[in-house]
């Protein structure tokens, strides 16, 4: 009994903090999503009305929501594999016995993660500039016509993906590097003795050993990429033709530009449900692929 009480005493502070700063705001947002809280309600709380699930119905009926969802899925579908591939590639290079100055490269590759989005977005806007940008300069060298990266609805999302992958791959790289260092060297030695090629070593030792780490990285990255916001906010403001308009950007506009906090909360919960479903699907796929 007394040990149980002691346990409660120990976890109470943590529970309080979680309750006040997490559970309470989430519950408040859920309540808010069932009302039409807006500018008029801010002026006088008597103007607040309970609308049930109307906000959810309105959001699901809005073409802009589906457009933003499609853009977000595009971003996640292309961005997550690309991001993990880049992280894995960088981690393999850093882990290679041939690599020199590992500390320097590790820091350099991790640097984009800790820089501010706004500052690097300015630089990338110059890199992407149609006439004066470095990227088009290189493309023209290879005989490719200059691309209007941020003005053409077909190229705006690829531009955002390139920027986001560059900004984020360092974080996963560090996690994967730790995973790589945890693989026992004996396995590789045994494989080499058996005459396995580098590719087969990677395919049959590295990848299976990294499976749990890759799953973790996949889930974290996917959940993060679903919340695409800062990149389009600073680079394109959702333009051109709303081609970089994400679900979170939609929520931001509803909530903080037009002050429809009820509807914005409903969007937040829809996004939460989407991320939950996507994570579930990923976990199930991973479990099915597991060797029994």
Partner 1 sequence: MRILLAAALLVLCSCARDGGVTTLRFWTIGREGEVVAQLLPAFERAHPGVRVEVQQIPLTAAHEKLLTAFAGDALPDLCQLGNTWIPEFAALGALEPLQPYVDASDVVRSDDYFSGVWDTNVIDGALYGVPWYVDTRLLFYRSDLLAQAGFDHAPRDWDEWRRVMAAIKRAAGADKYAILLPLNEFEPLLGLALQQPEPLLRDNGTRGNFESAGFRRAVEFYVDAFRNGWAPPMSNTEISNVWDEFARGFYAFYITGPWQIGEFKRREPELAGRWGTAPLPGFEGNSGGAAGGSSFAIFHSSPNKPIAWALAEYLSALPQQQAFYTLTGDLPARRSAWDFPQLKQDEYARAFREQLEHVVSTPKVPEWERIAQEMRLMAERIIRGGAPIDTALRDFDAKADAILAKRRSLLAAKSAAR
**Residues contributing to the site for partner 1 (CB under 8 A):** 36, 38-40, 42-44, 47, 129-131, 148, 150-151, 239-241, 256-259
Nearer to partner 1, 69 or 254 (CB): 254
> Least CB distance from residue 262 to partner 1, whole Å?
10
Nearer to partner 1, 155 or 188 (CB): 155
Q: Cα angle at 167 between 161 and 168, to 5 degrees?
A: 90
Round to whole Å and give the CA distance between 171 and 180.
Answer: 15
**Encoded tokens for 214:** 């890759």
Nearer to partner 1, 70 or 178 (CB): 70
CB 130 within 8 A of CB 147: yes
> Least CB distance from residue 60 to partner 1, whole Å?
15
> Least CB distance from residue 96 to partner 1, whole Å?
43
> Least CB distance from residue 39 to partner 1, whole Å?
6
Nearer to partner 1, 239 or 272 (CB): 239
Nearer to partner 1, 10 or 132 (CB): 132
Neighbours of 84 (CB within 10 A): 20
> Least CB distance from residue 70 to partner 1, whole Å?
16
Nearer to partner 1, 44 or 186 (CB): 44
**Encoded tokens for 286:** 């991973």
> Least CB distance from residue 43 to partner 1, whole Å?
4
> Least CB distance from residue 97 to partner 1, whole Å?
48
Nearer to partner 1, 67 or 211 (CB): 67
């Amino acid at each position: 009994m007394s040990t149980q009480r002691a346990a409660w005493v120990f976890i109470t502070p943590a529970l309080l903090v979680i309750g006040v700063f997490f559970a309470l705001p989430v519950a408040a947002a859920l309540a808010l999503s069932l009302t039409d809280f807006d500018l008029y309600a801010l002026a006088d709380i008597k103007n607040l009305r309970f609308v049930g699930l109307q906000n959810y119905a309105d959001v699901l009926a809005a073409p802009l929501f589906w457009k933003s969802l499609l853009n977000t899925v595009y971003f996640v579908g292309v961005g997550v594999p690309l991001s993990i591939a880049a992280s894995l590639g960088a981690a393999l290079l850093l882990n290679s016995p041939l690599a020199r100055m590992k500390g320097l490269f590790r820091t350099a590759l991790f640097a984009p993660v800790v820089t501010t989005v706004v500052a690097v977005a300015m630089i990338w806007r110059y890199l992407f500039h149609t006439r004066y940008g470095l990227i088009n300069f290189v493309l023209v060298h290879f005989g490719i016509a200059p691309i209007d990266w941020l003005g053409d609805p077909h190229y705006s999302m690829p531009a955002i993906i390139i920027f986001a992958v560059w900004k984020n791959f360092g974080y996963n790289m560090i996690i994967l590097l730790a995973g790589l260092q945890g693989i026992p060297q004996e396995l590789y030695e045994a494989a080499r003795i058996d005459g396995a090629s580098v590719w087969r070593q990677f395919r049959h030792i590295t990848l299976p050993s990294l499976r749990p780490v890759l799953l973790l990285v996949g889930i974290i990255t996917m959940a993060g990429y679903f919340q695409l916001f800062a990149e389009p906010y600073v680079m394109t403001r959702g333009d051109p033709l709303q081609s970089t308009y994400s679900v979170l950007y939609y929520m931001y506009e509803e909530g903080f530009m037009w002050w429809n906090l009820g509807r914005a909360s409903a969007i937040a919960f829809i996004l939460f449900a989407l991320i939950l479903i996507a994570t579930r699907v990923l976990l199930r796929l991973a479990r099915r692929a597991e060797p029994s």
